[in-house]
Amino acid sequence: MSGEARPNVLDPRQLVRIEAVHRGFLYQHLYLANCLLRAASAGVDKIVLEGDEDVELHRAADRFYVQVKTRQRLLEAGDTKGALERFALIRAEHAAGVRTGTARFVIASNAAPAPKLAEMLASAGWPKDVEVHWPGGPVVADPALPQPPIDVNDAASACGTLAAKLPFAMLRPDTLTWKLAGAAMLAASGTPPRRDHAFYRDELPALFEQLAVQMQDFPAPPAVYRAQINEPPLSTGERVRVLSGLSGAGKTAWVAEAATHLGTPAVYLDVGEMPGPALASAVAREVAAKLFGRSHGVLGEILLPGASGMETLGALNIKLGQDGLSVDVVIDNAHRLTPADLKPIVDQAQNIRFLLLCQPGTVTQEIAVLLGVEHEALGGWDEDTIAAVVAEAGCVADYADCERLSRLTGGLPYYVLNAATVAKREYDGRIAAICADVEAQTNLVATAQEVILKRAFDTMPDQMKEVVAALSLADVPLSRDEASAYLQKACKLTRQNAISLLRQLPDRGAVELFSNAGIKVHDAMRLLGRAYIAGRGADHERDSRKLLSATIIESIQKDWSIAKVALLVRLFGQLGQAKILVEFATDELFHEMGVWREIEPFLIAIAEDAEEDAETRLWALDGLVFNDLREGDVERGLERIDAMRALLDNNKLGSDEWLAWAMKRMLAVSGNDDVQGVMDMLAEVEERLPKSDQHHRIFRYNRALAMFKLGAYDLTLQETERLGQEYYDLLGLSPEQVIGRNPPAIRPLLPKGRDNRDDLKHLADTLDLHAQALQRSGGSSPLARIHAMKFYELAHAPQSVIRVGQDLVDDFCVHNDFEGARDVIEKMLLPTVQALNLVSWVVPVRSQYAVVLAYSGQFDAADNEMRRLAPYEAGLSPAGKGELEDQRRLIASLRRSGPPPQRRVVIPPAVQELLSARNGQAAPPERRTKIGRNERCPCQSGRKYKHCHGR
């Protein structure tokens, strides 16, 4: 049946009319489905279908009223008349205060405007708050609304594309699309449970059928799980337990299955070959991200990159105790850590129950003794279970054969499964035959297990061996797309072959599957895979590692995780690419994103390695000094600067290396108020400076920074003013062009065909230094800070955005513009901290927000915010504690004496016109109104105001 023939009906015209009606409603329902899929990321709290308009989107600050129209022809002016009349009535209710928020109106159509309507749209008389959207028309700017699709099929395809991006969704994209369309039809009819015709943001995960949060990082349990002898429960109430077993003992499968039956949250963390110094940071980051990040929405309060591991873990522990949460944390491969790394973590997190999965050995024994616990173990499969397994595999065995296989394998599930697979393929399914063959080679159980795995590996087809071997180089799960792309290059496969082989791997027991569609070769099999790679020769092994490193780099760019960064660093180490590690250290992006602690141990090792070449050691020291000075540790920085000097004195290094030392020394001595030392270094550097504009600009900035640290603010201002203009010229911009434009609107103005990031970062640094010098001189330049924030954002420097943003908030408060200060925090700082997981900024930004609330007269909200921050105080540095105490005193003083009056901010009409022109036709200015207790909190926590800052 083709389905293309039209039905034979009595009245074809009536059929056409009926089809048009249903097509219109289906188009509208798919439009709503698209809006539902966008709602959470666009900040939409509620969507109403068939209310005053076809679709209504409610946000804290505004409401969209959308009329959806489908036409087989162009959209005529007459088609919009009724909509415009209703829009006018709704607009009047908003103006009268009957409805809250700013009203915004949209006519969304699958048809382009007819000439007359197009002329009306371009005229001055067209309402400023009414937009017309159509396929191929102006790009829809607001993320809450889709570009109208051209027809029903296009609408369904657009929904499917969005649905495919949902994390942990159980439904196929097309299935979810039609489910949402059906839900829209139900809501439009007012049928329970949609009598109010509405959908709410809080219900979307359930509506989309996304996976349970607690299971997202656990390996997927086997389709049929068979219990082992005397299996212990996953959670017993003990604070710390050690469960040991050989690789293949079924520890991971047991944990995965047990977690599905646990009534309290459980978190799985595979520490693998993680560097010891990075452990605390990794544990805190992973636990908080998995426990809070996607369930309670409080990840931004606890865990983001950049903070000390122990401090973050302490804050997490306090939060768990405060909320009375019960959490079991499973740490897999704990035997790869040293007991000294584990003990402080267990001691610091008293509100977490730890289950450590280990392989037997000296380290595991030391861990158990140090923690004061006894080993637990899984008992393996009994003979009855082994019999069921071999029968399912199509093998034959009597009780004696199963008992023999039990002895041979220790009953360990992975080895039993592989033995059955080999028996079926190589021994016609005879378990007795494979047991005899294996026993003839060894009588030691451990060796027998290796032999079984070796046979399982050797009996794989050559292509499968290549695949398992290539994947064995990765000890973190790769997504199926990443694994497929990597295998196509490493094993020279077509995409179809790679996907087919990946699909076969789980059936062979060679890999672990993760619930986020990740795939990883089993630990025991990885050893064989690595041996196979090594047997192919050093060149082949090196090429495979290079390809994997490229895959991990792409994966990190899409979905950053400490495990991936650690693997990448190890790969670079295995490839002998110390210079790349050093490049990491001097790339400011890594400092901005908070991954410094993951690579610092490797840099220290490079710097101290006498076998490494002097140039690489010097640049490793340069990266370490960069971070020392950034954190204000001048003393340690000077020690490393002296080590750089020693390398220069004892080796023939180039001018760049000397310049790196000299610049760092100049900045370090300026931090110690050593005027003469700075002047001496300035003269020496200037004399030996390469004759390039780039070097001179960098030198001039560092000179200005040194002058600033020495208190010579006039000299600093003179230099930053000239230097800033030069960077503007380099980027083809003027300050006037930046005014009123947000970063996305500035980016198209930048030079094409080159990387502008360094120049953007240097311009932002210059503007920031200029603003600081002005402030120290008694002046102020909020505009310089605003522009610096824009350029930092364009340069992907989020921590600098937050730092300068906090200075800007202080600027606004000094000038009594408390509403402006709140706008910066609520619309920029808090969302950026939460979105990018900048943990070290959570307490400073939120405590500053409390002060701004007090300046705004909201003293109870300010006190409540400070009370919520109090539990984190114990984990702060002395400076952090002092800052919190100062802010408490300031809030108390403002409550007693009252804040200064809000400054009246008047934007000249010409400036307002410029801003409107550069940011698109703006809606009428939003009035500042009192926040309703049931409205969403403006801090963008997602909670109601009464449950958040309105307490």
Render pLDDT for 69-106 as a digit per residue (tens, 0 to 9): 999 899 999 999 999 999 999 999 999 999 999 999 99
Structure tokens at 778: 């008694």
CATH class of the domain comprising 12-208: alpha beta
| CB-CB contact of 90 with 48 (8 Å) | no
Question: Phi then psi for 595, rounded to 5 degrees?
Answer: -105, 10
Q: How many Å apart are CA 175 and CA 110, to the nearest integer?
A: 24
Q: Which CATH superfamily hosts domain 695-918?
A: Tetratricopeptide repeat domain (1.25.40.10)
How far the first Cα of the chain sits from its last, in Å, is 64
The pLDDT of residue 933: 47
| Per-residue three-class SS string for 559-601 | CCCHHHHHHHHHHHHHCCCHHHHHHHHHCHHHHHHCCHHHHHH
Alpha carbon of residue 294 to chain centroid:
11
Q: How many Å apart are CA 713 and CA 709, to the nearest integer?
A: 9
355 by DSSP, 3-state: which? strand
- Residue 295: pLDDT band (50, 70, 90) is very low
| CB-CB contact of 857 with 899 (8 Å) | yes
- At position 141, the amino acid (one-letter code) is A
Query: What is the tens place of the pLDDT at every residue in 446-468?
Result: 223 455 557 667 877 888 889 99
Confidence check: pLDDT of 535 > 80: yes
Query: Would you tell me the crossing angle of helices 173-189 and 12-42 to the nearest 10 degrees?
Result: 110
The pLDDT of residue 581: 74
Which residue reads 């990740």 in tokens? 518
Alpha carbon of residue 179 to chain centroid:
29
Q: How many Å apart are CA 905 and CA 74, to the nearest integer?
A: 46
Which residue reads 């932002």 in tokens? 764
CB neighbour list of residue 401: distance below 8 Å, 6 or more residues apart: 431, 432, 435
Query: Would you tell me the crossing angle of helices 693-709 and 675-688 to the nearest 10 degrees?
Result: 180
- Based on its alpha-carbon atoms, the radius of gyration of the chain, rounded to whole angstroms, reads 32
Q: How many Å apart are CA 131 and CA 617, to the nearest integer?
A: 60
The pLDDT of residue 922: 39
| pTM for the structure as a whole | 0.46
Nearest Cα neighbor of 572 from 596, 545, 604 is 545
- Residue 836: pLDDT band (50, 70, 90) is low
Q: How many Å apart are CA 496 and CA 506, to the nearest integer?
A: 17
Query: What is the tens place of the pLDDT at every residue in 815-828?
Result: 899 999 999 999 88
Most confident of 233-242, 515-524, 674-683, 905-914: 233-242
What mean pLDDT do residues 228-237 have?
88
In our burial notation (b when 16+ CB lie closer than 10 A, e otherwise), range 497-512 reads: bbbebbebbeebbbbb
Task: Give start and end residues of each alpha helix (H) in 672-756.
Answer: 675-688, 693-709, 713-730, 735-738, 743-746
What mean pLDDT do residues 503-521 have?
63
Q: How many Å apart are CA 878 and CA 811, to the nearest integer?
A: 25
59 by DSSP, 3-state: which? coil
- At position 452, the amino acid (one-letter code) is I
Structure tokens at 814: 């000094």
Confidence check: pLDDT of 30 > 90: yes
CB atoms within 10 A of CB 734: 12
- At position 835, the amino acid (one-letter code) is A
- Tell me the CA distances in angstroms from 720 to 693, 700, 704, 713, 767, one per residue in order: 16, 9, 7, 10, 7
The pLDDT of residue 910: 66
The pLDDT of residue 931: 47
Percent of the chain predicted with pLDDT > 90:
38
The pLDDT of residue 926: 38
CB neighbour list of residue 359: distance below 8 Å, 6 or more residues apart: 244, 245, 246, 247, 333, 335
105 by DSSP, 3-state: which? strand
What mean pLDDT do residues 850-858 have?
95
Confidence check: pLDDT of 583 > 90: no
Query: What is the tens place of the pLDDT at every residue in 123-140?
Result: 999 999 999 999 999 999
Average pLDDT, the chain: 82
Task: Give start and end residues of each alpha helix (H) in 150-226.
Answer: 152-163, 173-189, 204-208
For strands 240-244 and 198-200, give the pairing.
Answer: unpaired
Confidence check: pLDDT of 518 > 70: yes
| CB-CB contact of 385 with 397 (8 Å) | no
Least confident of 173-182, 581-590, 609-618, 855-864: 581-590
Specify the higher pLDDT residue, 694 or 139.
139
In our burial notation (b when 16+ CB lie closer than 10 A, e otherwise), range 90-122 reads: bbeebeeeebbbbbbbbbbbbbbbbeebbebbe
CATH class of the domain comprising 461-559: mainly alpha
- Residue 929: pLDDT band (50, 70, 90) is very low
| CB-CB contact of 813 with 925 (8 Å) | no
Q: What CATH code would you report for 215-376?
A: 3.40.50.300
- At position 543, the amino acid (one-letter code) is D
Q: How many Å apart are CA 547 and CA 549, to the nearest integer?
A: 5
Q: How many Å apart are CA 785 and CA 360, to the nearest integer?
A: 57
Confidence check: pLDDT of 244 > 90: no
CB neighbour list of residue 433: distance below 8 Å, 6 or more residues apart: 423, 427
The pLDDT of residue 374: 86
| CB-CB contact of 250 with 224 (8 Å) | no
| CB-CB contact of 135 with 141 (8 Å) | no
Query: What is the tens place of the pLDDT at every residue in 339-378?
Result: 888 888 889 888 889 999 987 666 887 888 899 998 888 8
Per DSSP (E only), the strands in 250-305 are 266-270
What mean pLDDT do residues 860-872 have?
83
Question: Phi then psi for 56, rounded to 5 degrees?
Answer: -125, 130
Nearest Cα neighbor of 103 from 146, 59, 50, 148 is 59
Residues, the chain: 951
Confidence check: pLDDT of 764 > 80: yes
The pLDDT of residue 791: 94
The pLDDT of residue 594: 57
Specify the higher pLDDT residue, 293 or 814.
814
- At position 327, the amino acid (one-letter code) is V
| CB-CB contact of 45 with 60 (8 Å) | yes
- Residue 193: asked if its preceding bond is cis (omega within 30°), the reply is yes
512 membership: H or E segment, kind and range? strand 511-513
Burial label, 379 (beta-carbon count in 10 A; 0-12, 13-18, 19+)? middle
The pLDDT of residue 945: 44
The pLDDT of residue 203: 80
Confidence check: pLDDT of 950 > 70: no
Structure tokens at 506: 């789980």
CB atoms within 10 A of CB 359: 19
- Residue 740: pLDDT band (50, 70, 90) is confident
What mean pLDDT do residues 31-53 have?
92
What mean pLDDT do residues 31-49 have?
92
DSSP state, 506?
A: G
| CB-CB contact of 211 with 510 (8 Å) | no
Confidence check: pLDDT of 928 > 90: no
Q: How many Å apart are CA 584 and CA 600, to the nearest integer?
A: 10
In our burial notation (b when 16+ CB lie closer than 10 A, e otherwise), range 634-660 reads: beebbebbebbbebbeeeebeeebbbb
| CB-CB contact of 393 with 364 (8 Å) | no
415 membership: H or E segment, kind and range? helix 413-426
- The β-bridge partners of 67 are 107
Q: How many Å apart are CA 451 and CA 439, to the nearest integer?
A: 10
Which is it for the CA torsion 127, 131, 136, 138, positive or negative? positive
Percent of the chain predicted with pLDDT > 70:
82
| CB-CB contact of 213 with 294 (8 Å) | yes
